[in-house]
Structures are given as C-alpha cells and as structure tokens.
C-alpha cells in the first residue's frame, strides 16, 4: 500500500443500482482477474426507500441484496484476493458491517470488515436548517475508503459516498496517491463514473444498439465493466473476455454524459474537467481514457434531503376509437365535479397512443392519466379512485380503466442542500472498532462555469433531408433531483460541426415542448463531440414525486432522438435506408 506501483489496478463493478443483477458479483469474480470489486447501490430514490425501511426498524436501512450476493461470493473473493468496496451501507453502514461479520462467521470465514460513516446528518437537521426531513445524507469522498483499505480491510462498506468514490478509493490506496494529486484523482473519477452504472458502459441503455448489435445476441446479457487504472490516473475501460455487450468509444461516451452538468464535474476529492477527457480505442472491448485534468474540490458537500411530501394516487382510463379529445374532456369534467373533497393537486395527461384506422383495439386506444396529491390520505384514497370507477356506466362510450380502485400511497420529495465540508464528519471505522477522522480538503476551488468554448466554423452544407435526430446522434439522459440532463453526441467531426450549431437551447425547446417554459442550460464538450442540456424543474420535486410519465427522465434522450430535423445530405452516409425514406 502506498509503495511504488508501475502497473494498473483492475477494479470491477457488480452493481449499478439497488436491484441490479444479483449474479453479477459472482460473474465478475469468476470471469477474470480483479484486484477490487465495487458496487454502487444508492440513488436519490434509493435513499428514500432505505429511510422508510429504517423508520420501520432501526437496524435496517442498508441494501440487503448485497448480503445475498456475499452469501455466495465472500469466500470466493477471499480465495482470489479480491477486496470489495460498496456503498450498500446506505443509511446504516455500521449495521451492514456487523451483518457481513455475522455472515462471515456463519460461513466459517475470517474477514476484515471496515466501514465509513459520517454522512448521516439527520440528527443535525434543525441545526443545519434542513427542516423536517426523513433523511439527510452528505456525499462523502474516497479517503475514508483509502484509510480502511490501507489498514487491511477485505470488505469496506460505506454510506452515501459519491458513486465514483467506491472506485477512486481503491485506485488511490493501490497507487499511493496524495490528496492533491488532482489529475490522477480526476482520472479515477472519470473511470469510476463510467463503470459505476454497471452494464450501461457495455451496451446497456445504448442509443445505437440496433445498429451496432444488429442481431441483438450480444446484448442478451451484457457483461459488467472494469477499469484498469494506471498510476498516472489514465485508464482503460474493458470487460471480462467472453461476456456479452461491448466496450466501445460510443458506449463509454454515453456513460460519461450520464447525469452530469457542464465541463466541471464536482466530487469531494477533486473536480473532474470533463472537457479534457480524451477517448480512444485500445483494441477490442478496450477504450482508453486519457488527458484528464483535475482541480481542487469545491468547499462544500452536496447533501441529499428526502422527505415525505404527502400522499398520491392515480387512475389511467382507456379511450378508444373516435372523439378521443371529447371523451377525455367529458370524463375529466365528470370526475372533478363529482368529488366532494378535491385533492390539493390534480393533474391530467392524455397520451395519444391511438392510431387512425387501427387493426387492433389496443392500437386504437389512448391513455388518460389522472394523478392526485394531497397531505390528507383520505382525499387521494378510495374517495378518488372509486369516484373514477363509479363513472363507468355514465361516461364516454367504451369506458374502462387499466386498474381497479386503490388506496393512495406515500410519495417522497427530494431537494439538495450544500454544507461546508468541514461541518461534515467523515470517519473510517476499522474492524477492531477504532475510529479515524478523515480531514476535509485543505485546498478547495469554488465551482464555476468554464469560459465559453470557441465553436468550430459551421460547414457550408447544401441540401438537407428531414430525418430523426437519432439517425446520426446518440443520447443519454437521467435525473438530477428535480432536474434532468440530456447528453447528445455524434461520431464524426463533420457531424459535430453541424450538431453544435444546430442543436441550440431554442431548438431543444422546439423539439421537446415539455421544456418550453423551463430553464435550460447547454454545455459544450468538444472532446466528446457532445452537448449536454440541463433542464431544471422537469421532474418537479424529484423522482419519487412522479411529476411526469417518465419520472426519472431515462427516456428523455430517446424522445429527443425520435424528433425529426433537417440534416445535411452529406452527413447521411451512415443513416439506415429506412430512416431516409
């Protein structure tokens, strides 16, 4: 630990979210050589789920599936000398560490288990001005993990560290990096950001899947990724031989654009300059990440605040055939008039999934969705859903719903906060119970936008064809609290010189009318031939608020790709013929 290391450290991933493929840990341990195996189990919605779990029983609050994976794999990891780092501790890392020790004892294994804590700020919510919340967790960095690994831990479990930190920690410990090695740390952050979402780096959720995997066989079961991180912070993203999917410059680009903002991607240990990332092919299923520059981290840590917003319910009514708009208006007015106690919020959405002269009843039907919210569960329970069903024989012709009446459910609200890093404890707890305080960064840099990039000169394109944007552009989108990001990239320099001038904020608002009245910021990333849009407020008060049909904005990028635009004929060489018709 901390000595002269000349070769790369191999760090694999076996989980991108709480609920990911259970067998991935075993697959990664048996599929090839690894030094470390990591797992990301936490997301903003997961923290709410775990908080409700902990509220029912104080000894809960961690990702129980991690223990299921270890049941089969802990002995295997020890035999192979693979050390495990995971943020599965959620709201109770000490509890999970104890559970891992109990599991090891039951399996007859000797395991050094350490954990990292300090992120849970709920006991100080009033002091810090958070108000009444169910969970308040700061995003910690990697140095608590480094301390645990340097002290000999075989398994390190953490609470809410940043997603990349579970990869940065092993890299920093293995190579003996210092806290001011910002370029190296930023390189590991880039690699960590690519592999922390599991199979999204190997072909999962990949925009060009139909073109790059035409028979789909390779995508039936994509392998999980690993990063070979070198002492200088550069890395190669790859996967175990013989596993499904693929690692290409495009799959890595897609993941780099996932849930980021602009050219600066802040982490507690360093700020990654995304605009410096250079990708290149290093052979089959190998992509090199180089050129990465880092800066000191910001002086504050982000805090995830989750609270109960109230109660919600919904009914989806099916409208078939003719007069769809009139049918929707009739039932809307009937339901709103019939309810004696109207919910505080009542939202109607009509999805015109119907087709003219359809040859099946399903394709002749549209969906009318009504979502209600209220602090009082009675106002969104059976009073609402039964009132909708009671209209069955007195409303539009063909009335039916997709579900029977049901009770309302609790919904959550997410909001971010920021606190000075020095106000957040960061503690490494070793297997013997000894505790080591991890000091905050001594050198920081306020997060600020980078100066605007000089855009390339537009090419003098001639004739255009109206085709889907996705015929040449890939996209990846996701949630960031109540906001969403949509990263869009192209594969060639001529395509880039068209995209950067064509896909402006105004054009995005035109193509995605839901964004017309929302704040939208565009960030330009020339090295990736990409633009990234941050759309504030499109998800309301977070994923659990269910503000829209796609509450996590995972398909927002695919909607954008489906919209038609005028693309120069010169750029259409790679466009499938069916899209040019």
- pLDDT tens-place string over residues 324-376: 999 999 999 999 999 988 999 999 999 999 999 999 999 999 999 999 999 99
CA dist 535 and 519 (Å) reads 6
CB neighbour list of residue 564: distance below 8 Å, 6 or more residues apart: 466, 467, 468, 469
Co-location of 216 and 189 in the same domain:
yes
Domain residues for the domain of 291 are 9-235+267-276+286-304+419-437
CATH number for the domain harbouring residue 347? 3.30.70
DSSP 454: P
Q: Which two tokens stand for residue 169?
A: 């920690």
DSSP 195: H
Axis-axis angle for helices 93-107, 64-80 (nearest 10): 50
Co-location of 401 and 431 in the same domain:
no
Phi-psi label, residue 162: left if phi above 0, alpha if psi -120 to 50, beta otherwise = beta
Residue 369, beta-bridge partner list: 316, 349
- Is residue 139 included in any domain, yes or no? yes
Asked if 362 contacts 370 with a C-beta cutoff of 8 angstroms, the reply is no
Q: Which two tokens stand for residue 6?
A: 């000349």
Co-location of 226 and 347 in the same domain:
no
- Is residue 453 included in any domain, yes or no? no
- Is residue 454 included in any domain, yes or no? no
Asked if 229 contacts 187 with a C-beta cutoff of 8 angstroms, the reply is yes
CA dist 433 and 113 (Å) reads 10
Instruction: State whether residue 94 is helix, strand or coil.
Output: helix
Q: Once rounded to an integer, what is the mean pLDDT over residues 477-502?
A: 95
Question: Is 70 exceeded by the pLDDT of residue 114?
Answer: yes
578 phi, psi to nearest 5 deg:
-65, -25
Question: Is 60 exceeded by the pLDDT of residue 581?
Answer: no
Q: How many domains does the chain have?
A: 3
Average pLDDT, the chain: 95
Question: Is 70 exceeded by the pLDDT of residue 185?
Answer: yes
pLDDT of 425 reads: 98
pLDDT of 5 reads: 62
CA dist 86 and 84 (Å) reads 7
Residue 572 pLDDT grade (very low, low, confident, very high; cuts 50, 70, 90): confident
Co-location of 327 and 296 in the same domain:
no
Q: Once rounded to an integer, what is the mean pLDDT over residues 433-443?
A: 97
Co-location of 300 and 338 in the same domain:
no
Comparing 116-120, 408-412, 415-419, the range with the smallest average pLDDT is 408-412
- Is residue 30 included in any domain, yes or no? yes
Q: Give tens-digit pLDDT for 10-38.
A: 999 999 999 999 999 999 999 999 999 99
Q: Once rounded to an integer, what is the mean pLDDT over residues 196-211?
A: 97
CA dist 216 and 212 (Å) reads 9
pLDDT of 1 reads: 42
- Is residue 477 included in any domain, yes or no? yes
Closest CA to 256 of 195, 299, 167: 195
Asked if 250 contacts 281 with a C-beta cutoff of 8 angstroms, the reply is no
- pTM above 0.85? yes
Q: Which residue spans within 225-270 are E strands per DSSP?
A: 225-229, 235-239, 264-266
Q: Give tens-digit pLDDT for 57-104.
A: 988 999 999 999 999 999 999 999 999 999 999 999 999 999 999 999
Residue 580 pLDDT grade (very low, low, confident, very high; cuts 50, 70, 90): low
Question: Is 70 exceeded by the pLDDT of residue 3?
Answer: no
CA 56 to mean position of chain CA atoms: 27
pLDDT of 4 reads: 55
CA dist 252 and 262 (Å) reads 17
Question: Is 60 exceeded by the pLDDT of residue 2?
Answer: no
CA dist 183 and 47 (Å) reads 31
Co-location of 171 and 224 in the same domain:
yes
- Is residue 575 included in any domain, yes or no? yes
pLDDT of 576 reads: 67
Axis-axis angle for helices 165-175, 182-195 (nearest 10): 140
Co-location of 488 and 562 in the same domain:
yes
Co-location of 191 and 326 in the same domain:
no
Co-location of 408 and 472 in the same domain:
no
Asked if 184 contacts 166 with a C-beta cutoff of 8 angstroms, the reply is no
- Is residue 176 included in any domain, yes or no? yes
- Is residue 242 included in any domain, yes or no? no
Question: Is 70 exceeded by the pLDDT of residue 122?
Answer: yes
Co-location of 530 and 432 in the same domain:
no
pLDDT of 548 reads: 85
Co-location of 346 and 297 in the same domain:
no
């Amino acid at each position: 630990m901390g000595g002269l290391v000349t070769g790369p450290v191999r760090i694999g991933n076996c989980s991108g979210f709480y609920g990911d493929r259970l067998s991935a840990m075993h697959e990664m341990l048996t599929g090839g050589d690894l030094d470390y195996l990591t797992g990301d189990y936490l997301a903003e919605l997961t923290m709410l789920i775990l908080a409700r779990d902990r509220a029912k029983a104080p000894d809960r609050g961690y990702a129980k599936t991690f223990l299921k994976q270890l049941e089969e794999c802990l002995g295997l990891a020890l035999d192979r000398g693979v050390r495990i780092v995971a943020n599965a501790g959620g709201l109770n890392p000490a509890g999970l560490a104890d559970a891992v020790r109990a599991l090891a004892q039951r399996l007859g294994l000797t395991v050094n288990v350490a954990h990292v804590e300090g992120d849970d700020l709920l006991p100080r919510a009033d002091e810090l001005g958070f108000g009444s919340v169910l969970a308040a967790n700061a995003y910690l960095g990697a140095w608590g993990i480094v301390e645990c690994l340097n002290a000999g831990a075989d398994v390190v479990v953490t609470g809410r560290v940043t997603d990349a930190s579970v990869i940065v920690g092993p890299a920093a410990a293995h190579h003996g990096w210092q806290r001011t090695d910002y370029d190296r740390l930023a390189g590991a952050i880039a690699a960590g950001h690519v592999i922390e979402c599991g199979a999204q780096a190997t072909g999962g959720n990949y925009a060009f899947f139909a073109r790059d995997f035409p028979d789909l066989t390779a995508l039936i079961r994509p392998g999980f990724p690993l990063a070979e991180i070198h002492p200088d912070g550069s890395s190669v993203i790859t996967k175990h031989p013989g596993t499904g999917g693929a690692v290409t410059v495009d799959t890595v680009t897609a993941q780099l654009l996932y849930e980021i903002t602009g050219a600066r991607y802040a982490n507690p240990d360093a700020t990654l300059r995304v605009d410096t990332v250079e990708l290149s092919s290093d052979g089959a299923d190998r992509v090199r990440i180089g050129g990465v520059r880092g800066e000191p981290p910001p002086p504050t840590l982000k805090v995830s605040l989750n609270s109960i917003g109230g109660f919600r319910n919904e009914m989806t009514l099916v409208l078939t055939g003719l007069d769809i708009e009139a049918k929707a208006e009739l039932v809307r007015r009937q339901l709103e008039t019939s309810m004696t106690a109207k919910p505080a919020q009542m939202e109607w959405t009509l999805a015109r999934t119907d087709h003219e002269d359809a040859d099946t009843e399903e394709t002749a039907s549209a969906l009318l969705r009504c979502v209600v919210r209220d602090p009082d569960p009675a106002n969104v329970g059976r009073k609402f859903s039964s009132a909708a069903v009671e209209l069955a024989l007195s409303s539009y012709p063909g009335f039916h719903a997709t579900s029977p009446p049901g009770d309302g459910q609790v919904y959550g609200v997410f909001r971010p906060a920021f606190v000075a890093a020095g106000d957040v404890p960061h503690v490494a707890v070793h297997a013997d119970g000894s505790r080591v305080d991890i000091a905050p960064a001594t050198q920081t840099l306020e997060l600020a936008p980078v100066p605007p990039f000089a855009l390339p000169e537009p090419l003098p394109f001639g004739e255009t064809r109206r085709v889907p944007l996705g015929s040449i552009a890939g996209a990846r989108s996701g949630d960031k609290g109540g906001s969403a990001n949509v990263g869009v990239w192209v594969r060639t320099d001529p395509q880039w010189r068209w995209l950067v001038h064509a896909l402006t904020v105004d054009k995005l608002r035109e193509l995605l009318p839901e964004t017309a009245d929302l704040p939208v910021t565009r960030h330009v990333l020339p090295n990736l031939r990409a633009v990234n849009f941050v759309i504030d407020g499109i998800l309301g008060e977070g994923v659990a608020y269910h503000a829209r049909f796609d509450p996590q904005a995972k398909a927002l990028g695919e909607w954008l790709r489906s919209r038609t635009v005028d693309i120069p004929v010169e750029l259409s060489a790679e466009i499938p013929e069916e899209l040019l018709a």
